[in-house]
Structure 1
Amino acid sequence: MIPTTQTLVHQLIEQTVHVGDTVIDATTANGINTRFLATRVGTTGHVLSYTATKDNANATAASLFMSGLSDRVTLLGKTIDSHFVTELGAQRQASMAIFDYSSDAQNNNDISENYLEQVDRILPRLTHGGLLIIKFNSMPIGLEDYMHNLIRADFKQATYITDTIQAHFITRI
């Protein structure tokens, strides 16, 4: 059986994220990834979750509250910008980050023009062995070149493509 992209992504998250970790949901959208990450980091971990729309922020906040997970998540109503290091914490690193611009997160029409700049802010803040996941319904402009230009000694890469969604994985060595 071939797993769905979402199933594979959640399996990788389960392998990568441990209780007490700090993780990032860079594109909260419907909140499915934020909630899943919050269950993985436990009561001592933290999820930094970015959402560009007020409706998504409100829906995710309500869902987190109803699930009893609110205390594990900082929900920011904006995209990742120059304040990211301050928001993460100057001395803190993340074990995992996800950009989900796919229909799984109901976010396939909200690709930020500067998503690669946001990826650039996160990559150096990953722990060694940290995982970055980027999901799309179809390959956006610039991603293939971006991934090709990453230094192979610093990052390992893989891509998983199904009929509807593709996931790109970057691990910091």
Structure 2
Amino acid sequence: MLQTALHYSHTLLKEILQPGDIAVDATMGNGFDTLFMAELVGKTGHVYSFDVQEQALNTTQEKLLEADLSTRAHLYLQGHETIGMILPRETPIKAAVFNLGYLPKSDKSIITLPTTTKIAMDEILLRLAPRGRLILVAYYGHVGGVEELTMVRDYCERLPQEQFSVLNYQFINQKNQPPILFCIERKKN
């Protein structure tokens, strides 16, 4: 059976994340990606997670504590556009993931935005390790979602193929705007 975009994002992360790696959850949300990556990076790796909503931070913190993984992640109550202020440029990010849209079961007026998402993508790509992956799952069935999806698609299409491979994964015969996954992989230097 074909995987949903969300499940496929975890497959793409599992293929590359190893103990000792550094990962970024640019949109912490309900903490599932942070928890998943914290398991993969092991005791010697680390996950940096960002969200603008306290609810996201609290839910993620609870998941990490329950799994006894809280020492493997730093949670930031701030937007992903601040990644460049938190992580030094020399930080080799092996994987980063975004779930673009809004926090499920919360205020749907608080959404990710094309301008801040682009800043975050720029900062991650500056730090992305060879064979590292930046994964974006775009949920676009809300006001502002199509604009962000368009920005991500255009951004990905303009990346030089000499440096990056870009995958676009989507279901094209489903109703209700199923999420679309983009995976940017830095080629080996």
TM-score, normalised via structure 1 length: 0.90
Task: Please state whether the residue corresponding to 1:57 is helix, strand or coil.
Answer: helix
Q: Aligned letter for 2:27?
A: T
Task: Please state whether the residue corresponding to 2:130 is helix, strand or coil.
Answer: strand
Alignment partners' CA distance in 2, 1:49 and 1:121: 14
Deviation at 1:89, TM superposition (A): 3.3
Deviation at 1:9, TM superposition (A): 1.2
TM-score, normalised via structure 2 length: 0.83
Aligned to 2:87: 88
Aligned to 2:28: 28
Q: Aligned letter for 1:119?
A: M
Alignment partners' CA distance in 2, 1:122 and 1:40: 19
Alignment partners' CA distance in 1, 2:152 and 2:89: 28
Aligned to 2:73: 73
Alignment partners' CA distance in 1, 2:22 and 2:94: 6
Q: Residue 154 of structure 1 is aligned with which of 163, 167, 175? A: 163
Is this contact kept in 2: 1:102–1:165, CA < 8 A? no
Q: Residue 154 of structure 2 is aligned with which of 136, 145, 163? A: 145
Question: Which runs of no fewer than 5 residues in structure 2 stay unpaired?
Answer: 141-145
Aligned to 2:118: 116
Q: Residue 169 of structure 1 is aligned with which of 183, 186, 189? A: 183
User: Pairwise CA RMSD of aligned residues?
Assistant: 2.0
Deviation at 1:55, TM superposition (A): 1.2
Alignment partners' CA distance in 2, 1:107 and 1:127: 34
Deviation at 1:90, TM superposition (A): 4.3
Deviation at 1:107, TM superposition (A): 8.6
Deviation at 1:148, TM superposition (A): 1.6
